[in-house]
Structure 1
Amino acid sequence: MNVEVEIISKEIIKPSSPTPKHLRRHQFSFLDQINPPIYTSLVLFYEFNGKIPPTITEISKHLKKSLSEILTLFYPLAGRLRVENHFVDCNDKGIPYLEGLVKPNCQLCDFLNDPVPDDLQKFVPFEPHDHNEFPLGVQLNMFECGGFAIGLSVSHKLADGLSMLMLTKTWAAISRGEYDNLEAKIEHPEFVSATLFPPKEMTRYYSHAGITKNKVTKRFVFDASAIEDLRVKYTGLENNEKRPSRVETLSAFIWRRFVEATKGDPDQNIDDKNKLHMVIQTVNLRPRIDPPLPQNSFGNICHFFMISSSGDDDYDDEDEESCHGMVRRVREEISKIDKDYVKRLQQGDEHFKFMNRLSQSSIRSGGKVVTSYFSSLCRFPLYDMDFGWGRPAWVGIQPLPLNNLIVFVDTKETGGIEAYVTLADQHVMAKFESDFFLQRRVHKGQFDTAVSSLACQPAQFNQVVKFHSQDQSSVIRKPIQIKPLKLGSRL
């Protein structure tokens, strides 16, 4: 369906308390430096469950109050990026906050029946490749039925995916009023990445490499039973003592389907037998540092491992779904990312060795390399993001401007996974999505959410369209009061 969002309001939200002078400069870490200048974005869709939906004025007033409070804790996000100089000026100038109407006559349930990944761009304030000086932006989107979506964009120069989710989780907790025991319930961010991974002189490093607008993204849903069936199969093929995880299993399966889709590509004059496939997968370093970092450590605290394959050693041609070798090798590479690896990475040597191995592999193959990237946000409680109106009906991840990228997130239904697959080539995507073995594993039903029939009923005209002409009293059954944070709590 054709979805458009009309922006009706723009303003700047500033922190509720000023940032102390000794925190005015937030230094990039080495891992921040090597990340591309793009935005990662999250969109949370909410339905209303009552007779009278809250208006955009009521929702917005509530969100802006808590957003101002959260910017006091996450103070670098309210500043201005100085990417060329590798730091953030924490000047409290604030973040863009946009309000929009979803048109034309788009109901929340209609959108969620068949969400298109590229449409998520309309629900967030920044395009992923259009990086600017703002570390963060927020956009509130109102559907005609009274449902709404909260979209936020965070600079990848400051935060990895887990940091973006931690920010959202903390904002939601403050928004719904968890103040009975503030220190115990609200996770305060720890800005330690520049201390652990000091910045380096990188005059020849080009972090923009790989950013593109020319891509196509599709979303594939795998339910728990399909993933479990593959896990059993891969365990049997490799005689593994330990069963592969859901992400290990689906990574291997999708990689095999991607390899098959790139065979015989008419746009590439490459013999498939001489083609080298590179698999690059992100790893969260927080639990692998000695001592382990808490999950509320904010920044880019992840790295990559790489696997090269010609295919013959990693799957069986007689079994179109076999990837037993890839599952084993992924596990072997992850085991190498230990405290000693992190120490080498802190010195800067390990990353440049990684880049050198990537370059040498390309040279040895005569440039006939196809690289795919895998990343996962699974096992994070995405559907616990309650801002005061209940849990989200769906959480969407905006596609990143990077080719051959596969991102995994949990479904709302326990055990399932949504795979966002972004490819550079329309022809390859057409082959990939029509692949018989992929199709028989992909969930075929309607989008599985708890969206009620109320989400398909239009709200009264004056409740949605006239939200700037009146300030009605809150319809939240239990009014949520947002108490100011003590400045000392973030020092």
Structure 2
Amino acid sequence: MARLDIEIQSRKMLKPSASTPDNLRRLKLSLFDQLAHRAYVTMLLNYLPSSSDHETISYDKLEKSLAQTLIKFYPFAGRFGKDDPFSIDCNDEGVEYVQTKVHADDLPEFLRQAVGPNDIESSLLDLTLPVMVHMPSSPLLGVQVNVFNNGGIAIGIKISHIIADAFTIATFVNEWAHTCLTGTITQDTNDYLPSFGQLSSLFPARVLQLPSPPNLVPNYYKMIVTRRFVFDALAIENIRKTIKKDSTSDDMIKQPSRVVVVMSLIWKVLTHISSAKNGYSRDSSLGFAINLRGKLSCVPSLEHALGNYVMIAIANMEADEVRKDELNDFVKLVGNTIRDTCVAIGKASSVDDISSLTVNNRKKGVEKLVQGDKMDVYTATSWCRLSWYEADFGWGKPFWVSPVGFNAVEGAFLMDTKDGNGIQVTVCLKEKNMTEFEKHLHILSSTPIVG
């Protein structure tokens, strides 16, 4: 399959099915929203053709349920504030909604080719997403429903990172699916009160003096290639067995999580590629986000807050600490960084403490990036333990979920596999670095990405 024959059947600006109340028409951004990357986050949910156990898709029902869901997620149908850069005008202008017919019979076969070794993702998977450019006047959310000849469905989503982190996106997707499946919006209870505005009332956006990130060279994004790998449960356990036990370490290091194991291994491989390329070891940093929900003792009521609510943590390794075969060092650094950051979060006695910690960590991250010609800086994003595979619109749960076009910087993007025990890793590197990275495939599971 050299190309995707896709026919746009309808395109519209879909509005919420009820107007947003006047008292919710202006949403102030939080400090965390302010620090989020100004770009769309993408997601692709893929569904096999409906079986006799599930109803046939009703496109009117899918569209209607999204309009209903937007009542609850009203900022998604708004636009960036024209007179206030730290706000969203919740004006119900709508979200980009596209429905297509894909003239191909087999969705799994298409996906196997699109995420295969030939790096044709940009020309295939990107076509399953709505065409949108992240600008002040642009929609904040876009949805494209792609229907294959045999009934397979790929739902492509683009959403501005400024209004949503992974938790928020997963909450939205599952609420939309629930509404489509049942015809009703989830009723709020005392145990589940997701809402916008909670974070900005406590952590308002502000004028910040942050160092400017380095300018990317022309065509930088075109230099980045994307590959996907799967660590199944057995592969992760085998890697764990290679980690030497240290009686002085705490439980996080003695029994590292799946995410810590995979993150650490990827970081180790990347540092060795750098050493081989440069002829010497360089200082190296790995930055990753920590979800703050449920971690603040000073503000315990934000467990289900919507918007961005994460803090950057940075693990650092000096050049002389890099060893050829010691995964332990990387596991300790990642594990200790997570532990120390969570301890600092837990000890914070006020929202000001959390704000200062968030801003300071962001400054450190940008300062590392500025030194890019002298050291190596990587990012790793984990969307594990979120309910991506629970989104049933009425024709079953998705058989594969993945981000698309995650090529902003060199790094890795982690998500659970469908069984919840393994981890799918989307790796983005410059082409020469990717060639070296793929030589380490012997440490990876042979589990296929799709199918």
> 1:289, 1:77 → 2: CA distance?
27
Aligned positions of 1:145-294 closer than 5 A: 145-177=150-182, 179=184, 182-183=187-188, 189-191=194-196, 192-202=198-208, 213-214=221-222, 215-234=224-243, 236=245, 240-242=249-251, 243-265=255-277, 270=278, 272-273=280-281, 275-290=282-297, 291-294=299-302
Deviation at 1:75, TM superposition (A): 0.7
SS at match of 1:408: strand
| Structure 2 spans left out of the alignment, 5+ residues | 116-120
TM-score normalized by structure 1?
A: 0.79
Deviation at 1:236, TM superposition (A): 2.6
Structure whose CA Rg is larger = 1
CA distance 1:235–1:161, change in 2 (3 Å):
farther
CA distance 1:197–1:140, change in 2 (3 Å):
same
Deviation at 1:441, TM superposition (A): 2.6
SS at match of 2:392: coil
> 2:86, 2:47 → 1: CA distance?
37
Deviation at 1:405, TM superposition (A): 2.4
Residue 379 of structure 1 aligns with an amino acid whose one-letter code is: R
> 1:344, 1:185 → 2: CA distance?
23
CA distance 1:216–1:352, change in 2 (3 Å):
same
Give 1:102's aligned residue. Answer: 102
Asked whether the equivalents of residues 224 and 415 of structure 1 are also in contact (C-alpha less than 8 Å), the reply is yes
SS at match of 2:144: strand
Deviation at 1:63, TM superposition (A): 0.9
1:380 aligns with 2:386: yes
TM-score normalized by structure 2?
A: 0.86
Aligned positions of 1:399-410 closer than 5 A: 399-410=405-416
Give 2:13's aligned residue. Answer: 12
Asked whether the equivalents of residues 166 and 296 of structure 1 are also in contact (C-alpha less than 8 Å), the reply is no
> 2:338, 2:186 → 1: CA distance?
40
Asked whether the equivalents of residues 32 and 309 of structure 2 are also in contact (C-alpha less than 8 Å), the reply is yes
Deviation at 1:322, TM superposition (A): 6.6
SS at match of 1:93: coil
Deviation at 1:188, TM superposition (A): 5.1
Give 2:345's aligned residue. Answer: 338
SS at match of 1:263: helix
Asked whether the equivalents of residues 407 and 421 of structure 1 are also in contact (C-alpha less than 8 Å), the reply is yes
Deviation at 1:357, TM superposition (A): 3.5
Deviation at 1:112, TM superposition (A): 3.6
CA distance 1:170–1:180, change in 2 (3 Å):
closer
* Identity level (%): 27
Residue 357 of structure 2 aligns with an amino acid whose one-letter code is: E
Deviation at 1:358, TM superposition (A): 4.3
Give 1:350's aligned residue. Answer: 357
Asked whether the equivalents of residues 33 and 308 of structure 2 are also in contact (C-alpha less than 8 Å), the reply is yes
> 1:121, 1:238 → 2: CA distance?
48
1:432 aligns with 2:437: yes
Deviation at 1:13, TM superposition (A): 1.1
Asked whether the equivalents of residues 140 and 149 of structure 1 are also in contact (C-alpha less than 8 Å), the reply is yes
Deviation at 1:235, TM superposition (A): 5.4
Out of 335-344 and 34-43, give the one that drifted further: 335-344
SS at match of 2:276: coil
CA root-mean-square deviation? 3.2
CA distance 1:348–1:208, change in 2 (3 Å):
farther
CA distance 1:164–1:210, change in 2 (3 Å):
farther
Residue 372 of structure 1 aligns with an amino acid whose one-letter code is: Y
Of 429, 441, 444, the residue aligned with 1:442 is 444
1:308 aligns with 2:316: yes
